[in-house]
Amino acid sequence: MRELEERIKQEGIVREGNVLKVDSFLNHQCDVALYADMGDEWARRFAGRPVDKILTIEASGIGIACVAATRFNNTPVVFARKSQSINLDGEQYVARVHSYTHGNDNTVIVAKRFLNKGEHVLIIDDFLANGCALDGLIEICEQAGAIVEGIGIAVEKGFQPGGKRLREKGFDVQSLAIVKSMDAKTGKIEFE
Amino acid sequence: MRELEERIKQEGIVREGNVLKVDSFLNHQCDVALYADMGDEWARRFAGRPVDKILTIEASGIGIACVAATRFNNTPVVFARKSQSINLDGEQYVARVHSYTHGNDNTVIVAKRFLNKGEHVLIIDDFLANGCALDGLIEICEQAGAIVEGIGIAVEKGFQPGGKRLREKGFDVQSLAIVKSMDAKTGKIEFE
């Protein structure tokens, strides 16, 4: 998606350790017009697939998923939580995932009543690198007996293994920008 | 706002300890059509006020603020983070707030480059009870020299002191549903 690639080239900042900062428009400050265009693009790419629910994970995925949902007939969005909250009670689906971003293990939690057997789910998230967060969301869908129709990603780091691994497992992963390489010294970012 | 009050009456669950669970449409599963209607209502209530930026806080505020922003000419949304992340670097505004919900103290963090002196800010959040999270967001606006034009809240617990205190300080607090009383035994919820 050219609009997203252009924004990443203009505003993305590459840091040592494979960190790509896009916090001026994607995951701290949010450009909701861009989010809507991303929703339109995912709607084109997943056209024909049934989508009963959009599943994402706090925090950065929520805004993207909610605005994108307005392009999927206002499909309900469920965001997985990363920690227990008094807003969570009742029976829960829980998966354990490692976060390379934060250097720790998280639990990913969804209340059972918001994900049901046989529901068709579109997973949306901001980044795909190693795919650990997605593994957790997929595991939760499996626990629920829900069907993962597709995975919509804003920015995939193509040089990290998550995307390849998930596609080889048969998931329809649609990343709107796939970074082929990036260089913290020169700041140069190339796309596939 | 009648639509929101009706949803709270239909789906809200009252728990001991002043807990009102609205996770089926507001803060775990998200009804984005309702979010858009809430955005329209805030746009009416804050009509005539300049809004350069919408400020909210992770996690539950993000989806509401992002969809509402589409009703404010796609105003950029900034969401404050509650903990350090490698997605945060550079200079930051930091405020310390107590969370009664989670029973702990949090820091509220916004990167300095996304909140500027003289900017007109609309703060949006899902709940207002004691107002601690809002105090943190207001403090961050003060640190930045930004002007708080208004505070848009989905659900205010009118029997807790935050709303009264903030209005007495002169803030234009617009809550779309104000709960006058709620009873964990009968499940009854009354609005102002």
pLDDT at residue B86, rounded to an integer = 57
User: What CATH code would you report for B2-79+114-191?
Assistant: 3.40.50.2020
For B24-52, the pLDDT digits (tens) are: 999 999 999 999 999 999 999 999 999 99
d(CA A132, CA A120): 21
Enclosing H/E stretch for B137: helix B132-144
SS3 A66: helix
The alpha carbon of residue B190 and the mean position of all alpha carbons in its chain are separated, in whole angstroms, by 21
Contact A78 B29 (CB under 8 A): yes
Interface of A with B in 58-97 (CB under 8 A): 58-60, 62-67, 69-70, 74-79, 81, 85-89
Q: What are B153-186's pLDDT values in tens digits? A: 999 999 999 999 999 999 999 999 999 999 999 9
* End-to-end Cα, chain A, rounded Å: 11
d(CA B3, CA B37): 9
Rounded Cα distance between B51 and B71, Å, is: 11
Interface residue A2 vs chain B (CB under 8 A): no
Q: Is the pLDDT of residue B89 over 80?
A: no
Which ranges of chain A have pLDDT less than 70? 84-88, 101
What does the domain layout of chain B look like in residue ranges? 2-79+114-191
ipTM: 0.96
Residues A154, A64: contact at Cβ < 8 Å? yes
Task: Choose the closest CB to B30 out of A24, A77, A89.
Answer: A77
Burial (CB count within 10 angstroms: exposed 0-12, middle 13-18, buried 19+), residue A168: exposed
CATH for A32-179, options being 3.40.50.300, 3.40.50.2020, 3.90.700.10, 3.40.50.150: 3.40.50.2020
Closest CA to B94 of B81, B114, B108, B106: B108
pLDDT in tens, B48-81: 999 999 999 999 999 999 999 999 999 999 999 9
Residue A93 contacts residue A112 (beta carbons within 8 Å): yes
CB contact under 8 A, B77 and A21: no
Q: Indicate yes or no: CB of A62 within 8 angstroms of CB of B19.
A: no
3-state secondary structure string, B73-109? CCCCEEEEECCCCCCCCCCEEEEEEEECCCCEEEEEE
